[in-house]
Amino acid sequence: MPRHNLLVALLLLVGVWPAAAQDRAALRYQPELGRLARTLTEIRTTTTLVGFPAVPDGAVFTEETWLSATQRVATVREEGALVEVVVDSVRGRVRQDDGTWRDRADSSFIGRPAQAILSPLFHIVGIRTSGETDGEVLQTLGAYAADLGFTFPDGPVAVGETFSTGGRLRARVRTDAATGLAVDEVVFGDLALTLDSVAGTGEAQLAYLHFQGGLTPRTAAAASEDGDVVTALSGAFAGRLVWSAQWGAFVSGALRIRVTGRVRVQRPGGQETAEATWDRTVVHRVRP
């Protein structure tokens, strides 16, 4: 799907975008000690498969996940704020075509806190915990659009200005082994934001931003018992974010990613090819 169409689809998710009330904003992370932010993230992925040996051509798998998390500001110091993120619950379900929904959720994220030190530019300068899933839990801070390398600019940003964040959008795409061909890869795209408008001043300030871009094409090779598998991935993404000075958080966001994979399998009896398309929508918001 062209990037412009991805962005139009995101507009439908987040509603009408307000007109600019100010011409610039200094984007800063200055949270209050003890500040709690509860977030809900909804992820829907539709996977369409052609040429996979164990499912009919055109088979469509739909997966939905609801992830609830809590962010708490534990300490505030000159070098940054120590923020603790805990995933409170994860619910998920999946179905093939128009079949029956089956419950499926990854519970490994639930309960264990991940702690990070964030600078006034909302950049993670240190991680205090050492769990295997810490990096993925901390993705909730960036509304699942920004990775751990994200940084706001040093100076004020003018309305209409686009700035590099130094961060990357990350998308993991998979197919189940039950399809006859398991794929599990990660693709990235450089994240640059455009400031669309600013409303309010001081703690009441809201900054409205959008982004769009292409995923870096990637080719991955893996060996299996059935043969050598080479997967070529490409795609595009677009999204919207709302930053709140009062919350010190992205209080609303919507993201759409479309990834295309071409899979080549070299088996003893010859070469086979398959194609997969992943269409993912992420909606993130702070709950009252």
In contact, 188 and 216? CB cutoff 8 Å: yes
pLDDT at 11: 47
Domain ranges of the chain: 3-287
* Domain 3-287 bears CATH identifier 1.10.10: no
Give Cβ neighbours of residue 142 (< 8 Å, ≥ 6 apart).
150, 167, 250
288 residues of the chain, pLDDT tens digit each: 454 455 445 544 544 445 445 688 999 999 999 999 999 999 999 999 999 999 999 999 999 999 999 999 999 998 899 999 999 999 999 999 999 999 998 888 898 899 999 999 999 999 999 888 899 899 999 999 988 899 999 999 999 999 999 999 999 999 998 998 889 999 999 999 999 999 988 778 899 999 999 999 999 988 777 678 899 999 999 999 999 998 889 999 999 999 999 999 887 777 889 999 999 999 999 987
User: Which residues, 6+ apart, have CB-to-CB distance to 287 below 8 Å?
Assistant: 38, 39, 40
Q: What is the pTM of this model?
A: 0.88
- Do 93 and 104 meet the contact criterion of CB atoms below 8 Å apart? yes
Which residue do the tokens 């029956």 mark? Answer: 100
The pLDDT of residue 147: 86
- Taking alpha carbons only, the member of 109, 105, 127, 110 closest to residue 118 is 127
From the number of C-beta atoms within 10 Å of its C-beta (0-12, 13-18, 19+), residue 255 rates as: buried
Q: Which of 73, 78, 29 is nearest to 203 (CA)?
A: 29
